[in-house]
Amino acid sequence: MPTSYLPYEPQQQQMLLPHALQDWLPEGHLAYYISDTVDSLDLSAFHARYAGGGSRNQPFHPAMMVKVLVYGYATGVFSSRKLARKLHEDVAFRVLAAGNYPAHRTLCDFRAFHLKELSDLFVQVVKLAKECGLVKIGTIAVDGTKIKANASRHKAMSYERMKKAELELKEQIDALLAKAKLADDAGKKEPELDIPAGITRREDRLAVIRAARARLEERQRQADIARGRSDDDTPPDGGDKPKKKSRFKYKFGEPKPDAQESFTDPESRIMKHAGGGFDYSYNAQAAVDDTAHIIVAAELGNCAADSGQLPIVLAAVARDAGAAPGQVLADAGYRSEATFEQLREHPAELIVAPGREGKKDVKVDARKRPLCAAMAEKFTSTQTRAAYRKRKWLSEPPNAWVKSVLGFRQFSMRGLAKAQAEWKLVCAALNLRRMSKMTPA
**Residue 47 within any structural domain of the chain:** yes
CA geometry: angle at 299 spanning 86 and 65, to 5°? 25
Task: Flag whether 419 is in a domain.
Answer: yes
What average pLDDT does range 57-72 have in this prediction? 89
The DSSP letter of residue 233 is G
Same domain, 380 and 290: yes
Q: Is the pLDDT of residue 370 over 80?
A: yes
If pLDDT is split at 50, 70 and 90, which confidence band does 419 have? very high
Do 228 and 246 touch, CB atoms closer than 8 A?
A: no
CA-based nearest residue to 327, from 285, 287, 277 = 287
- 213 and 343 share one domain: no
Q: Are 363 and 377 in contact (CB under 8 A)?
A: no
pLDDT of residue 244: 53
- 347 against 183, higher pLDDT: 347
The sign one gets for the Cα dihedral 224, 228, 232, 233 is: negative
Boundary residue ending a domain (229, 262, 295): 262
Q: What is the CATH number of the domain that holds 399?
A: 3.30.420.10
Q: Which residues pair with 420 in a beta bridge?
A: none
**In terms of domains, do 140 and 255 share one?**
no
* Alpha-carbon gap, residue 306 to 12, rounded angstroms: 62
Say if 354 falls within a structural domain: yes
Do 256 and 392 reside in the same domain of the chain?
no
Does residue 162 form part of some domain?
yes
Same domain, 28 and 83: yes
User: Would 55 be classed as within a structural domain?
Assistant: yes
Q: Are residues 237 and 172 in the same domain?
A: yes
- Verify that 100 and 42 share a domain, yes or no: yes
Tell which residue, 78, 35, 23, 98, has the closest CA to residue 436: 35
Could you tell me the pLDDT band of residue 406, with boundaries at 50, 70 and 90?
very high
**For residue 299, is it within any domain?**
yes
pLDDT digits (tens, 9 = 90+) for 128-164: 999 988 989 889 999 999 999 988 877 766 666 667 7
Percent of the chain with pLDDT over 70: 74
Same domain, 168 and 87: no
Q: pLDDT grade, residue 12 (50/70/90)?
A: low
Q: How many domains does the chain have?
A: 3
pLDDT of residue 235: 47
Task: Give whole-number Cα distances, 39 to 72, 201, 422, in Å.
Answer: 17, 51, 21
Q: What is the pLDDT of residue 282?
A: 92
* 321-340: pLDDT as tens digits: 888 898 999 998 899 888 89
Residue after which a domain boundary falls, among 262, 283, 300: 262
For residue 245, the model assigns a pLDDT of 52
Tell me what pLDDT residue 227 has.
64
Looking at the structure, tell me whether residues 173 and 244 fall in a common domain. yes
Same domain, 386 and 334: yes
Residues 109 and 140 in one domain: no
1 in a domain, yes or no?
Answer: no
Domain end position, chosen among 262, 284, 300: 262
- The whole-chain average pLDDT of the chain stands at 81
Residue 295 near residue 398 (C-beta atoms within 8 A): yes
Q: pLDDT by residue (tens digit) across 157-192?
A: 666 666 777 776 667 666 767 777 776 666 555 555
The residue range of the domain holding 391 is 135-152+269-431
Residue 164 maps to a domain? yes
Band (pLDDT 50/70/90 cuts) for residue 236 is very low
- Cα 139 to chain centroid distance, Å, stands at 25
Higher pLDDT, residue 35 or 206: 35
Segment 376-396, tens digit of pLDDT: 888 888 898 889 988 888 888
Identify whether residues 234 and 279 lie together within a single domain.
Answer: no
